[in-house]
Amino acid sequence: MQVYDRVIPGRSIPTLAGLAIIAATLYAFQGLLELVRSMLLVRIGLSVDERFGETVHSSLVLLPSRMQVSGDGLQSVRDMDTVRGFLSGPGPTALFDIPWMPFYLGLCFFFHVWIGWTALAGALMLVGLTILAEQKSREPAKEAAKIASERTALAEATHRNSEAVLAMGFGHHLGRKWHEINHRYLSNHLRSSNVIGTLGTLSKILRMMLQSAVLAVGAVLVIRQEASGGIMIASSILVSRALAPVELAIGQWKGFAAARNSWSRLLQLSQLMPSSEREVSLPAPTVGLKVENLHLAAPGSKNPILRGISFELRAGDAVGVIGPSASGKSSLARSLVGIWQPLAGAVRLDGAMLSQWDPVALGEHIGYLPQDVSLFGGSIAENIARFDPEASSEKIIAAAKAAGVYDMIVQFPDGFDTKIGEQGSTLSGGQRQRIALARALYGNPFLVVLDEPNSNLDAEGEAALTRAVSGIRARGGIAIVIAHRPSALAGVDLVLILANGQAQAFGPKDEVLKKVTAPPVAAPTPVRLMVSGEGVAQ
């Protein structure tokens, strides 16, 4: 306005220089404020990690034991990244600029009422497009997250089982499944992109048309001498500045919808995660384990796997759990260490239910060797010490010796510092199992649960396993060994037999196994009669 209404008519260079200095100063402040705003947005994005980081990591451990987790189980990690990425990007900038629209429109009315009404009509149309973008993008964004999770889960499963896929040649079958999921993912992505792209293009065209319309209205007003040339140009620029955030918001609406859905899931996750704080810390267990009328189902299911299981163990006891496949042995192991929660009944350590313990404190008193052994990328020492940064060499070596793997470990060139790769990929199955046994024995836990601990062991490994179980009993701990092979029961004194989810027998090993393996009653010797004439011969 000043350039067109003062500088040009008055041919005043000093006025132009003064305006240039004022404009440069204002632009410098604008740039500084935008820099500060962008830096604040980055830090706000980082605050999402600070707020949800611990919850998300805890959910990776706890949620699979509480409910059925779809996909690869990493949706919460992607949700946190999505929210952080959106808050650190240009999306919030548009949302922060939109509230200034009434101020800009008020200036348009200040210039002239017809310029104001023209700008207001265009603004209403753009806001309508924004609302339409919200309605059209909500469901595709939710569906996109679901399909993306399925797609990632299949990709990771294929990579994890690549050897079996390659050896048995069913990669092309998985390829068809991948193509089907990927087709749905791309179709959903295309549909949502088309919606946002179409609305974004319409908003851009509308904004340019509106800018020209305001220029035309201003020209009419200049012709009618109701406005100056400066007002005509300034109002056109001002309308473009007022409506640019709406256009930007429509273009960023897909990211906004995804971030909103991710934020909602993170809030739900926070409510699902149990509080780990305990007002009273229970002492270390030293007396015994008691299972009371345990009914157990898989997470998210109401169909019981175990029904009415009850038994009691004292310090120094070792029990072997045997039974046919699908009898509930591994499920019982998960319940005993607190992974799965009972439908009814209770598991108690020294009289206290497992849920009364602080999870971290409880873990120090439990050793667990799962049926599917899994190690972490790092050194042998780190895996044995459960990645405790304050673990002492004495405790690591003691656990290795208790598991009978000390001699095996020192045979490696780097000994305990040997890097084993992701999931222990550089080790054999038996080596992984024996190192996992040492991890279970680290810190001399009171309760040690071993699920099929000899599935990959040779004779030397089985002998070491027997010595480890005997060592647990000797120091006053409790050992529970789940096995199919009788050799794993050499060190136990009790046996629990499961079948169809129920306890069939429990007691001293010799008595129970004697009943199970008692020879069947011999059938009577068949009698054959031979008839010859009038005589009968046997």
CB atoms within 10 A of CB 264: 12
Write the CATH number of the domain with boundaries 2-272. Answer: 1.20.1560.10
Cα distance between residue 303 and residue 328, in whole Å: 13
> How many Cα atoms are found within 13 Å in the side-chain-facing hemisphere of 57?
5
**Cα torsion at 93, 94, 99, 103 (round to 10°)?**
100
Spatial separation of the C-alpha atoms in residues 439 and 375, rounded to whole Å: 10
Burial of residue 400, with CB atoms counted within 10 A of its CB: 0-12 exposed, 13-18 middle, 19 or more buried: buried
Q: What pLDDT score does 67 carry? A: 59
CB atoms within 10 A of CB 302: 7
For position 527, what pLDDT does the model report? 45
Second CATH level (architecture) for the domain 288-516:
3-Layer(aba) Sandwich (3.40)
Domain positions in the chain are 2-272, 288-516
Are 2-272 and 288-516 equal in CATH topology?
no
Per-residue pLDDT of the chain (538 residues; tens, 9 = 90+): 888 888 888 888 888 899 999 999 999 999 999 889 888 888 888 888 888 877 787 777 766 656 566 555 677 888 888 888 888 877 787 778 878 888 888 888 888 888 888 888 888 887 787 777 767 766 776 777 778 777 777 777 777 677 667 767 777 777 888 888 888 888 877 777 777 777 778 877 887 888 888 888 888 888 888 888 888 888 888 887 777 777 777 777 777 877 888 888 888 887 777 655 556 778 889 999 999 999 998 887 888 899 999 999 999 999 999 988 888 898 999 899 888 889 899 999 998 998 888 877 888 899 999 888 878 888 999 999 988 888 899 999 999 999 999 999 999 999 999 998 877 778 888 888 899 999 999 999 999 999 988 887 888 888 888 899 999 999 999 999 998 777 778 889 999 999 888 998 899 988 888 876 655 444 444 444 444 444 434 3
End-to-end CA distance of the chain: 132
366: helix, strand or coil? strand
For position 470, what pLDDT does the model report?
92
pTM exceeds 0.75, yes or no? no
